[in-house]
Chains A and B, each alone.
Chain A
């Protein structure tokens, strides 16, 4: 049974900067409160402060956190240590980074009982196995003997939950526990989490940026922005009648509206035509096939001005497809035609003009922009390289590009380190546009961005498509994003293309079962969606 949590005027600061500003809220025993906001809103900082913990360089500068009868912030460091892992448990975002790779799972799961001496190792083991069963893990009796690399990401996340719950904590803090998982895995983990939280009637804090996930888990939602509370209300109230404008914008971004399509000329020649393409890694065997095939039998036609979305889970080969088209990974089989002419498999074989026509935009703008070059240098290079521009025309074109992606001209003299994530992604896009390509390969361009920022980038991309008539191959694991910007969706699994769905048929079946599974797995922005799912398909054990 959980405890009541009362937070009053909580302030966390880093130097002169205030990260959390006078936050007050209450959680009733056994309730789940969600902290929601974009990155930098202070949601993780708040969650950590509930344990009396501040990250390096931060300091809890005021307020009180009442857990039941005690004030966590008034405790000595020693008392706080006794509290953490015993009364309050924390489940971090990346389980893979939180487990010690050189010790068995069971050893680590029962570690809290050893530290806090709550029960004997034998009792702890029995308890752990019961928890594994409760969390719907496969082979609950033996899974503990494995090492962290021998289980999947979703399983590891659930094992971490077992570690947190083994001491029967009164308050559980879940910090973005499903963000790093694929949609189909996420749903399993969510269901397992919700079951244990409900059955134990534990008080829980759920930190997330995903409203749809939160809607399934939480009783109340607290919306944070820049360390300040924007809105605190019941989940139903927030979803149906939000008060704050910021909450409204979050809700709007979480329900991506389809963007207006471009003018696709389908009767003309295909811009990109892939025929029976196969790609693999490793040494070639006697028949000229590589040891490991990651893509097989890919057929795809992309018309000028069209946007095709490629969707699949991690390991489905969707990024490999983009790399093969770009020339980074030569296909071992099949033909690629671009504007009717053969697209040479290797980068070195392609002419400058051929290279110009296909540009690629990478997922993480941090690593896609050279931190030592100014934005001006970054945008100038393709212009100099492909078009030989210099002097005044070059400057004018750079400014045009910045206008095109809606960035202020003052950005030109800065280094990427001084830009926000959304701004970097815009520069990334502008660099691709500088070459005036016919086709842009977008690899998960919005995955690393906050919902609101990501939505703005999607708007921009849709607008550019209409204005410049450029085509996109849009790779993503997020069905929502793909549906919002693409005319057609290609579904991939295990390196094969399973299905291709046109926009008109998005909501009209029947489709390939895997597409339907993906569609079903995307959490809907309403309460009770997960409950309905529980009734139709029981949780696998």
Chain B
């Protein structure tokens, strides 16, 4: 009988993954260890920006504008860590303040867009042809409207506010997330294990949640990272046009626009917010690409 050999081969690997009786802090550390170096760097940057968005404004004790000696597009100095902007305001404070808009709005909008898109896609894939084509066609309609144009119309119609921006970005990016999730879900829906679940008599919700979702979650997370980048760029673009977050508040996109005049002078005022955008998007993607569990799943151990 063949099982004897395989039995022997199985035991050592199976023994090493028993997480059941390890205390919680150790388990947490182990989970962090799963990120690897690049993942941990990404996580650190991401956590920094989240902290900045949440507590940054209240922790800063310095003043935005110095009482005397106002310098426009000032260089990096002890007093102004990232120089000063076109009105002589401290750039460091502006970037930290801007974090709450960029990170907050972009995060919420990304989660909404990807979550909604994935849910609709699972529903479309699991419920059959009619619902699928109805959902797909109506979402295609949204795709056909140019995104910047749509945002302009939304802002023109409803004015610019944070909730408006979130809603606009969500509506624009749901169809993309839906398309990707649906194409994967449709493929998985035809696999034998989904057929087995249907033969067992499982309902649509179970098939969506337990059979299809775990198998598209990985690629959808990668897509979420990409979508986050798009949304940050969309918001930055809108702010650049002056239609996003309204002055005196500013997200990073507005900061770049405000200080674009200093580009010729190579001032830190335009480079700092641009770097902030880049570091945030790269960090999100680093974290998602290195999420623990993916490599382990490939080895066949949970």
Contacts and interface: CB of A to CB of B under 8 A. Distances in A.
Interface of A: 326-328, 347, 350, 352, 355, 359-360, 362-364, 367-374, 381-382, 385-386, 406-408, 410-411, 413-420, 422-423, 431, 435, 452-453, 456, 459
B6 interface: yes
A435 B193 CA distance: 16
A-B pairs with lowest CB-CB distance, top 10:
A418-B300, A372-B214, A417-B300, A410-B14, A368-B192, A362-B192, A355-B201, A370-B193, A367-B192, A408-B7
A385 B297 contact: no
B193 A369 contact: yes
A180 to B, nearest CB: 19
Interface of B: 1-3, 6-7, 10-11, 13-15, 17-18, 191-193, 195-202, 210-211, 214-215, 217, 297-302
Given A355-B199, A360-B196, A419 B215 contact: no
Contact of B193 (A367, A406, A411, A422): A367
A367 to B, nearest CB: 5
Nearest to A353: B201
Given A410-B10, A417-B297, A418-B301, A367 B191 contact: yes
19 contacts: A328-B199, A363-B192, A367-B193, A368-B192, A368-B193, A370-B211, A370-B214, A371-B297, A372-B215, A373-B210, A408-B6, A408-B10, A411-B10, A413-B14, A414-B300, A416-B300, A417-B300, A418-B301, A423-B6
A284 to B, nearest CB: 16
B14 to A, nearest CB: 4
B301 A414 contact: yes
Given A367-B192, A408-B7, A456-B1, A327 B13 contact: no
A274 to B, nearest CB: 18
Contacts of A413: 14, 17-18, 302
B215 A370 contact: yes
A135 B195 CA distance: 42
Contacts of B18: 413
A104 B299 CA distance: 42
A7 B217 CA distance: 48
Contacts of B7: 408
Given A327-B199, A355-B201, A416-B300, 9 more contacts: A328-B199, A360-B199, A363-B192, A371-B297, A372-B215, A408-B6, A414-B10, A420-B6, A452-B2
B205 to A, nearest CB: 14
Nearest to A408: B7
A376 to B, nearest CB: 10
A63 to B, nearest CB: 28
A413 B11 CA distance: 11
Contact of A371 (B1, B196, B197, B215): B215
Contact of B199 (A347, A411, A418, A453): A347
Contacts of A418: 13, 299-301
A286 to B, nearest CB: 23
A350 to B, nearest CB: 7
Contacts of A359: 199
Contacts of A369: 193
Contacts of B2: 422, 452-453, 456
B3 A407 contact: yes
Nearest to B202: A385
A372 B188 CA distance: 12
Nearest to B17: A413
Contacts of A452: 2
Given A415-B301, A417-B299, A350 B201 contact: yes
Nearest to B296: A415
Given A408-B10, A408-B11, A456-B2, A415 B300 contact: yes
B294 to A, nearest CB: 11
Contacts of A374: 302
A431 B196 contact: yes
Contacts of B300: 414-419
Contacts of A408: 3, 6-7, 10-11
A414 B297 CA distance: 10
A364 B192 contact: yes
Contacts of A386: 200
A415 B196 CA distance: 17
B169 to A, nearest CB: 30
A205 B201 CA distance: 50
Contact of A385 (B3, B13, B200): B200
A373 B200 contact: no
A326 B199 contact: yes
B263 to A, nearest CB: 46
Given A355-B201, A372-B214, A418-B300, A328 B10 contact: no
A2 B20 CA distance: 63
Q: Which of A327, A364, A406, A452 has the most CB of B within 10 A?
A: A406
A410 B298 contact: no
A340 to B, nearest CB: 22
A363 B193 CA distance: 11
Contact of B201 (A352, A368, A410): A352
Contacts of A326: 199
B210 to A, nearest CB: 8
A421 B301 CA distance: 16
Contact of A373 (B195, B198, B214, B217): B214
A414 B302 contact: yes
**Max chain B C-beta neighbours (<10 A), residue from A355, A369, A372:** A372
A453 B215 CA distance: 28
Given A352-B201, A364-B192, A372 B14 contact: no
Contact of A328 (B3, B195, B211, B215): B195
A367 B2 CA distance: 22
B145 to A, nearest CB: 35
A225 to B, nearest CB: 12
B217 to A, nearest CB: 8
A74 B82 CA distance: 61
B16 to A, nearest CB: 11
B198 A347 contact: yes
A41 to B, nearest CB: 14
Contacts of B14: 410-411, 413-414
A224 B181 CA distance: 44
A360 B197 CA distance: 11
B302 to A, nearest CB: 5
Among B191, B195, B201, chain A packs the most CB atoms within 10 A around the CB of B201
